[in-house]
Amino acid sequence: MNWIDKLEKKFGRYAIRNLMYYIIILYATGYVVQIFAPEFYMLYLSLDVTAILHGQIWRLVTFIIYPPSFGLFWFLLSMYLYYSIGKNLEYQWGTFRFNLYFFTGVILHIVAAFVSQFLFGVNLGQFFGTYWLNNSLFLAFAATYPNMQFMLFFILPIKAKTLGIIYGICFGVQIAAGFLTNFLSYNMVLGLAQIGVIVHPAYSVMALLSLGNFLIFFLGMRNMHRYSPKEIHRRQAYVRSVKRGEKAVGSHKCAICGRTEKDGDDLEFRFCSKCNGNYEYCQEHLFTHTHVK
C-alpha cells in the first residue's frame, strides 16, 4: 500500500464528489468579474504575496476563479473541455485521487508564488492565474487517455499523447530558459519572448513547482498504470471471463427437489443411466424417482 492509498483510507470520506463541477462555477464567476470589473481581480482576488502578508489571506483561495480563457466562444469551449477532463479523471482515478491531484496543484501554486517572492524578490503570483493548474490537468488527461482523439482547429485529428508531448516540450523550454538566462543572447531572449516564453528564473521555478502535482503522480508513482483505461479494461475483462467460466461449469441440481451443492456440503449428485436424457439427482432421489422414458 503506497502513501496515496493510506491517505485515501484515512481521508477518503472527505473528498468532494464531482469536484470539477464546482471549479467550473468558480471559473464562470471569474469570467463575469473580468467582464464587468477586470481590475477587481488584480486588486483584491489575485495571488498577490505582498497583499497576503498584509492580511488579505482570502487571496489564497480566490485566485482560483481566474478563467482559463476569454471571449465567450473560447470560454464556453474551455469550460466544456476542462469539465470533461476533470469528470473523466475522477471517474478513472476515483474521487479522492482526483481531489488530491487538483488541490496539490493549488497548494504548489501558492508555494511557487511565495518562493518567487522570497527567493527572487519578484511578486509574480498576482499574474499567475490558473494557467499552469489547468495545463497540469490536461497533462494528466493525456497520460491517462493517450489515445483519446481531439479535433485540432475542428479539422485535424490529433491524439492526446501527441498534444501532451507538445505541451511537455513547451513547458520544458519555459523551465529551462529561466535557468539558462546567463547563457542566452539578447536576440534569443527577445525571440523567446515573442513566442510567449518569459526568460526569468523566478518564472521557471514557478512553472516547475506548479506542475509538481503531475511530476509527483506520474513520474514518482510506479503504480499509476493501475488507473489507466487500458489496465482497468484488462482487469474488468478478466473478471468477466472468470464469471463466464464459473457459469459454464455450472452447478449440480436435483431434477426432483431442485437442490444444488450450495444447499449443503454433504449433498451428492449422480446422473441416472436409466433416464432418457441428462437428468441429475441428489442421493435421496437417485433411487426413488420415476425414470424418464
pLDDT for the residue numbered 219: 65
pLDDT tens figures, 77-104: 989 989 999 998 898 888 998 999 999 9
Q: How confident is the model at residue 254 (pLDDT cuts 50, 70, 90)?
A: confident
Grid coordinates of 133? 493548474
pLDDT tens figures, 41-68: 999 999 999 999 999 999 999 999 999 8
pLDDT tens figures, 124-181: 878 778 888 888 888 888 888 888 887 776 677 888 888 888 888 888 888 888 888 7
Q: What is the CA radius of gyration of the chain?
A: 30
Calculate what percentage of the chain has a pLDDT beyond 90.
22
Q: How far apart are CA 214 and CA 135, in angstroms?
A: 10
pLDDT for the residue numbered 235: 52
Phi and psi, residue 261, nearest 5°? -65, -15
Domain boundaries, the chain: 3-219, 252-293
pLDDT for the residue numbered 231: 53
DSSP for residue 271: E
Given the candidates 1.10.1060, 1.20.1540, 3.30.450, 1.10.150, the CATH classification of the domain at 3-219 is 1.20.1540
pLDDT for the residue numbered 4: 76
Q: How far apart are CA 278 and CA 159, in angstroms?
A: 55
**Beta carbons of 262 and 248 less than 8 angstroms apart:** no
Q: How far apart are CA 71 and CA 89, in angstroms?
A: 27
pLDDT tens figures, 222-241: 555 554 555 545 555 555 55
**Beta carbons of 87 and 20 less than 8 angstroms apart:** yes
DSSP for residue 260: B
